[in-house]
Structure 1
């Protein structure tokens, strides 16, 4: 274990699996997070002494510099889905990404992997998507050899998408078809993203490339909700919700992030994102080009959506006893 990789945002949903994948390759990993006391379990992702946890905030240059000392590579996974406090889209996606890239170049870090998003677009009506695109540009300007990875909607235990609607299906008789449910997605498995990042960090030939990561199948929003209902064994009404009404709901829900510890169920900016399909363009290499066979949604959803069924993991047993 010689090479040290600093992973910013390494304790999150995607980050924790990236750290695990890097550790499996024998790399030393420094997990840089804003609140290290909440990330103590990260040390269990590798062998004794292989993983360390340090404090760093991508918005604060000095903390980024400390976290990058001695690293030969770094991964930036830091991102926000909604704004709260000082965690604004511009500050995190653009200024924070620029800090990581510029300081990594200054310190002689050899490789940088920047996790962006498939919807990154400087012309988007979504601030999230615009700042993701601006973040990519800032990274390219400071560190031209950086690898950009743009995943579609990510699925896996603990995800924020399938779990959200699975929970909603468990308590609500109605699920909203925002915009009519026609928006298309290409969900990509968390484990496949982790493998892709590990390859980009540790294998040659990826410098300066952009990868679009999508799964093997494309689903409409309606089809995704139908799949969730099938896996949770629920019958619910799928109610079309026009974008203008959804936006009003998003505006009303947004203050939750400012005044409570809970994430808003929907924001106006997320409604804007849903107006555009989230599928790979075909203009950039993807999982297959990295030698990774994309995992299907159907193979993974049953491993964690079972908890939203009546009876949870014991649903089948409960039914057989009742009979």
Structure 2
């Protein structure tokens, strides 16, 4: 596959979406710099390309000079960096609000041709969740510095390495109950990680994507309760679903949020109060020429490891306890 870009810098390329994107980008022959805090953690990506094609580089997204060095002589820049909770210096504002603007300014100064910013459905400066507010701030900062940038807003992203279906699959394996926060009515439109990676590639290729924002969702909308039911179906387990009122969930978030890797935070509870689906009239995967993949097609390929007896269990029919 040929490509008109020579050098790409991908921030957060060693993460969940990044590993799928790098495979696709490498096939075009592009030289790829993976800008990351810990280059050694990105070495596994090297095997996706030819010798010397994929180069992890140490980058501090909070430092202008470090970011400028990462994007120097690049033709395209893609920012995948995002966090689900704050930890130490990794705050929502610094990581998702300020850093995207810093990267976009450096990219514009370096003469970069295309910029793609991964945001999230629900990005809103008026949201009660700091996560959503910081995503909106990041979008605004990117477009101010690089008006031609393409913004992609995925819903919950699923795939073999995801932190969503896998989390509930693991929970179903050890817990007799599954929590339905707020009654389980919040709606989601899960999007396959491979489709997100394809959308990025399409955005780089299509001039019509310049300066546009796309919302990426799968072919079906699920309630939180339906998602839990899907997890139980694929793991073949019976579990009791228990409604957790918002007030109780907020209290749990305050307690669990103090853990190094919290299962729930107050900010995440706030996010759950709002549906996470593609907005009416928004540009979508279809506008980028990507057909969305159903969750039911993909999640059986990795949730089966949470079944009784493991992935290769011969148990069939109904749920197991």
1:57-109 Cα offsets, whole Å, 9 max, x none, are 21111111111011001000111100000000000011101110011011111
Q: CA deviation at 1:317?
A: 6.7
Q: Which residue in 2 is equivalent to 1:310?
A: 308
Specify the SS of the correspondent of 1:149. Answer: strand
TM (normalized to structure 2)? 0.95
Contact kept? 1:113, 1:148, Cα under 8 Å: yes
Q: Which residue in 1 is equivalent to 2:121?
A: 118
Contact kept? 1:72, 1:111, Cα under 8 Å: yes
For the pair 1:241 / 2:244, whether they are aligned, the reply is yes
Q: CA deviation at 1:205?
A: 2.1
Structure 2: distance between partners of 1:191 and 1:272:
28
1:237-292 Cα offsets, whole Å, 9 max, x none, are 000001110011001011112xxxxx200000000000000000033211111111
Structure 1: distance between partners of 2:231 and 2:45:
30
1:24-48 Cα offsets, whole Å, 9 max, x none, are 2232211110100111111112222
Structure 1: distance between partners of 2:125 and 2:300:
37
Q: Give the one of 149, 153, 158 matched to 2:156.
A: 153
For the pair 1:53 / 2:53, whether they are aligned, the reply is no
Q: CA deviation at 1:202?
A: 3.2
Q: Give the one of 45, 68, 85 matched to 1:82.
A: 85
Q: Which residue in 2 is equivalent to 1:64?
A: 67
Distance 1:318 1:290, change over 3 A: closer
Q: Which residue in 1 is equivalent to 2:174?
A: 171
Structure 1: distance between partners of 2:280 and 2:201:
22
List runs of 5+ in structure 1 lacking aligned partners: 258-262
Contact kept? 1:64, 1:99, Cα under 8 Å: yes
Q: Give the one of 286, 289, 296 matched to 1:288.
A: 286
Contact kept? 2:86, 2:92, Cα under 8 Å: yes
Structure 2: distance between partners of 1:298 and 1:46:
31
**Bigger mean CA deviation after superposition, 185-194 or 285-294:** 285-294
Structure 2: distance between partners of 1:86 and 1:202:
35
Q: Which aligned pairs between 1:214-229 and structure 2 lie closer than 5 A?
A: 214-229=217-232
1:147-181 Cα offsets, whole Å, 9 max, x none, are 00000000000101000000000000000000000
Q: Which residue in 2 is equivalent to 1:272?
A: 270
Specify the SS of the correspondent of 2:102. Answer: helix
Contact kept? 1:58, 1:96, Cα under 8 Å: yes
Structure 2: distance between partners of 1:58 and 1:111:
19
Q: Give the one of 292, 299, 302 matched to 1:301.
A: 299
Structure 2: distance between partners of 1:318 and 1:244:
39
Q: CA deviation at 1:16?
A: 1.1
List runs of 5+ in structure 2 lacking aligned partners: none
Distance 1:255 1:114, change over 3 A: same
Q: Which residue in 2 is equivalent to 1:260?
A: none
